[in-house]
Each structure stands twice: as structure tokens, then as C-alpha cells.
Amino acid sequence: MGKKVTLKYNEKEYNFDLLKGSEDENAIDVSKLRSDLNLITLDPGFKNTGSCKSAITFLDGEKGILRYRGYSIEDLAKNADFLEVAFLLIFGELPTKNQLNKLIADIQDNAIIDEDLKKILVSFPRSAHPMGILSSLTSALIAFNPEKKISLTKKTGDEHAYMYNLIVKLLAKIPILVAWVYRRRNGLSLDYGDYTQGYVENVTKMMFQRPNQKYIKNDVIVNAMNKLLILHADHEQNCSTSTVRIVGSSEASLFASVSAGISALWGRLHGGANQAVLEMLEAIKNDGGDTKKFMEKAKDKNDSFRLMGFGHRVYKNFDPRAKIIKVTAHEVLKDLGIKDPILNIAKSLEKEALNDPYFTSRKLYPNVDFYSGIIYKALNIPTEMFTVMFALGRVPGWIAHWREMRMNNDPIGRPRQVYTGSKKRDFLPLKNR
Ligand code: CMC
């Protein structure tokens, strides 16, 4: 018999199953708590709540470990191609050569956007934030690619083929939208590329190609982009992925769920942090570069300033992605011959924070977004596009979780609450108020 956890309530003892994950993490199964005891748990921000069982990504925040389907993030970032990682996350195994070639060919077959969607894009004001545009266009894709309901009970070959087609469509169309959002901001033509040249290479080409100029591939840019996309590809039940799962749990379409995920990612406490970090570093530079002054502001509870790119809900140790990105930032700046003073400002902030009891006692370390903006800036990507690049990387993770949720037949996501409002009272007519 498995281990139990006992809860004493109203002088009676109740046993709950203790579940173990494949990496030995423990969880109390409280799924019968309400039906058996008429109790719910209260856990604002879900700091202690597991919302599902998932076989996609393993994360140990205390030890600073991150693995996709068992493969370490260090190994993947060093050796893999982003599309291989996407396949791994979504379908569970690294692709064979044939599987990868088929995926690339299928993506290329779907690399087309309805011309009417261009009209929607150009109707946005130039000043609109790219994340808002990307979320809207992803949602608008549904109008041009209506999805049929996938049966949750029958997992037939047809259902799998249908789901595969949906996934391929999204993997093909999102990079085009990303490139177009960027090009529209820069007044450039909205063109297509060719995924058979390489998925990441095609994204960079679609973004950076200039009219009447021969596009010359820059390996530094493609490799840095490949690494960044891999590092952002999944992070288990974070805010945007939980959003995708919860939206999808109502049987909303894949595109609608991913559009919601893009909106959730936008905020500066989540994916929007990369934009916020760069703006913070630039502000410190323009203020004279006094990092200590900003450290004091970050620690001052009466000041709303936070050290952006620091701290994480689950990492209480170095974010392993941040370690890789810091090294990559150095390499990219060196290879592109760029000397950017904000890299030194970032390094000073990190050094000071790692020696400051405020940060060490709260286990606040640099996260994935602390150094990523420095790389994006070096690649000539405008600050407001940073979170869009994060979204591009996260698409395979969102798809993987949406697919897992649908294939596991997970129930609709619907938390409970502790009601703190008025007790029953009678309506007062307007003349008596
Ligand atoms: N600067 C100063 N103090 C901080 C910071 C920070 N960046 N982060 C946390 N703290 C303090 C916070 O004030 C609190 O102090 P106290 O215990 O005295 O009240 C303590 O540390 C715990 O913070 P919390 O806000 O309760 O922790 P959380 O798990 O709810 O929030 C976080 C995690 C990432 C939202 C937060 O650390 C933060 O706002 N960081 C800056 C934004 C950022 O870099 N976000 C990107 C996260 S990584 C990308 C991704 O989303 O995947």
C-alpha cells in the first residue's frame, strides 16, 4: 500500500494518498478533500499547488535543474536544434532524421497566411505593442483556420493526424507573424521565407532580410537565436503555460489557447521581464551608472522599484538558463565586436546582489531574462520585440502542454475560492440609497 498523509479535522482522522513523481517529488492528493470533508485548500498564486500530472519538463528549483523530457537544458542548448527540441517537447522523443524532415516539409506546406490577415496587421497603429498584435493575430488565425472539436474520448489515428496538422500549422504561421510584426514596425514588406533552409535560420531571414539586398546568413546570430529559443521553449506550469492549459481545458481551440498564453506572457513579472530588464539597465546607464543607488531602491519596501530579471517563483538557486545566457551574451558581443556598457552594469548588479543579505536571504538570483535582452539588443532586435522572441521560443512548450492536457482528458480548470464578501442582504430601491 502506498504512503498516506493524515489530516485531523473535527477530532477525526482522514487519510490522503501521497503521490510520488518520477524524480521523487511528493504531493498530497487532495482531489477528494471537498467531496469527503467539505473543505478546500487556499493557496494564492498556487505556490504549493500542483495543477496536473505532466511528463514534459522537470525542474528542481532548489538544485537549479531543468530538463526537457529527461534531457538537461545544458545538453540541449549546446547540441540541439530548436526544431528538434520542439519535436521532443511536443511528441516526447527526439525526432529521427525522417521525422524531422517530414516535420520541416509539413511546416513549409503550411507557411502561408491569409492575405486578409495582413489587412488586420496593417490596421494596428505603428505604436501598438508587438505582444498585443501577436496575441490578436494568433487569435485571428482561427477565423481563417477554423478548428473542429477533437474528441477527448476517442484517441483514433484520425484525431492524432488532425492534432498533428494543427500543431504544424501553428509552428509554421507564428514565426511568419513574428517576422511581420517586426517588419511592419520598421516599414518593411511582409514577405515569406523558406523553412527548408532551417527553422531558426528562416525566422532570422524573414525578420532581417532587407529589400534589394542579398541576405547573408550570420552564424553568430542564428546560433544565438537557436540557443535563446531552446532555453525559452518550456518551463512547466508557469503563468502562461497554466493559462494555455486552463483555456484549452474548456475545449477552446489550440490557437485561442496559445493566444491567451501570449497575453499572459506579456506581463513584466513573466516574459515581459526581458523588456523591463533592458529598460532598467538603460535607465541606470542614463542616470550615471550608479548601481548601488538602484540596489537600495530595490530593497526599499516603500519604493515600487524591483531588480528586474532577479528572483523566480521556483528557482531558489541559480536559474540554469541564466548561466548559459550570461556566457552566450559575452560570446555574442565579442563575436559581433560590440562593446555595450549595459553588460558591465548587469554584471555589477549581479555581483552586488549575490553579496547582499537582502537578496541572498530571499534566495534571489538572476533569472533567464537578466541577460537575454543584452543579446537581443546586440542582434538589433528592438526592446519592445523582446517578449515576442520569448513567445516564439515558448510556442512548442504551450503546444506540448495543450496536447498533453487534451490527451490526458484533463477536466476543465475551475478553482474554488474563499468568499469574503457580504452575507445575504435585500435589494434597496434607488430612492432609499
Ligand atoms: N527585486 C527586489 N525584491 C524582490 C525581487 C526583485 N526582483 N523579487 C522578489 N523580491 C522580494 C519580494 O519583495 C519579497 O520580499 P519580502 O519577503 O520581504 O516580502 C521576496 O523577495 C519574495 O518575492 P515574491 O514576490 O513573494 O516572490 P514570487 O515568487 O511571488 O515572485 C517573481 C517571483 C519572479 C515575480 C519576482 O521575483 C519578481 O518580481 N522578479 C522580477 C521580475 C522578473 O524578473 N520576472 C521574470 C521571471 S523569469 C521569466 C519567466 O517568467 O519565466
By DSSP bridging, strand 4-9 and strand 12-20 are antiparallel
Asked if 79 and 53 sit in the same domain, the reply is: no
Mean pLDDT value across the chain: 94
In a shared domain, residues 103 and 241 = yes
Q: CATH code at 144? A: 1.10.580.10
Q: What percent of the chain has pLDDT over 70?
A: 98
User: Where does the pLDDT of residue 215 fall: very low under 50, low under 70, confident under 90, or very high at 90 and above?
Assistant: confident
**Distance separating alpha carbons of residues 67 and 55, to the nearest angstrom:** 11
Identify which of 18-27, 159-168, 210-219 has the greatest average pLDDT: 18-27
Task: Tell whether the model's pLDDT for residue 153 goes beyond 60.
Answer: no
| 155 and 198 inside one domain | yes
What CA–CA distance (Å, rounded) separates 50 from 47?
A: 9
Residues with Cβ within 6 A of ligand 1?
A: 45, 235, 238, 269-271, 273, 298, 306-313, 362, 364, 367-369
Total Cβ atoms within 10 A of residue 408: 13
Atom of ligand 1 nearest to the CA of 265: 51
Domain assignment present for residue 433? The answer is: no
Residue pair 320/64 in contact (Cβ under 8 Å)? The answer is: yes
Indicate whether 150 belongs to any domain.
yes
One domain, residues 29 and 117: no
For residues 419-423, average pLDDT: 98
Task: Give how many domains the chain has, as a whole number.
Answer: 2
Residues 53 and 150 in one domain: no
In a domain, 424, yes or no: no
Share of the chain above pLDDT 90, in %: 89
Q: Ligand 1 centre and the CA of 13: distance in Å?
A: 37
Signed CA dihedral, 187, 267, 398, 219: sign only: positive
Output the nine-digit C-alpha cell for 248. Answer: 484549452
Active site residues: 312, 369
Residue 321 pairs in a beta bridge with none
**d(Cα 117, Cα 122) in Å, to the nearest integer?**
9
Helix H or strand E encompassing 370: helix 369-378
Q: Could you report the per-residue pLDDT of 337-391, keeping only the tens digit for each?
A: 999 899 899 999 999 999 999 999 999 999 999 999 999 999 989 999 999 999 9
Residues 181 and 91 in one domain: yes
**How many angstroms does the Cα of residue 406 sit away from the middle of ligand 1?**
32
Extended strands (E) in 96-161: none
For ligand 1, pick from 47, 244, 269, 361 the residue to mutate: most ligand atoms within 8 Å of CB: 269
* pLDDT at position 151: 63
For ligand 1, the distance from its centroid to the CA atom of residue 305, given in whole angstroms, is 11
Q: Which atom of ligand 1 is nearest to the CA of 367?
A: 48
pLDDT for position 156: 72
Choose the residue to mutate in 242, 243, 277, 313 for probing ligand 1, maximizing ligand atoms within 8 Å of C-beta. Answer: 313
432 domain-assigned: no
Distance CA 130, CA 139 (A): 14
Buried b vs exposed e over 262-293: b needs ≥16 C-beta within 10 Å? bbbbbebebbbbbbbbbbbbbebeeeeeebee
- Say if residue 197 is in the same domain as residue 59: no
Residues 310 and 332 in one domain: yes
- Residue of 265, 364, 370, 398 best suited for mutating to test ligand 1, as the one with most atoms within 8 Å of CB: 364
Decide: helix, strand or coil at residue 57: strand
Return the CATH number at 24: 2.20.28
User: Domain range for residue 55?
Assistant: 4-65
Give all strands of the β-sheet with 65-68 in edge-to-edge order.
57-60, 65-68, 71-72
Query: Are 12 and 140 members of one domain?
Result: no
Element (H, E) at 43: none
Could you tell me if 57 and 87 lie in one domain?
no
Q: State the cell numbers at 242.
A: 497554466
Residue nearest to atom 8 of ligand 1 (CA): 311
Nearest CA to ligand 1 atom 35: 269
Answering whether pTM is above 0.85, one says: yes
In the prediction, which pLDDT does 152 show? Answer: 55
If asked whether residues 286 and 218 sit together in one domain, one would say yes
**Each residue of 241-290: pLDDT tens digit?**
999 999 999 999 999 999 999 999 999 999 999 999 999 999 999 999 99
The answer to whether residue 431 sits within a structural domain is no
Letter for the amino acid at 54? S
pLDDT 10s digits, 52-98: 999 999 999 999 999 999 999 999 999 999 999 999 999 999 999 99
Specify the length of the chain in residues: 433
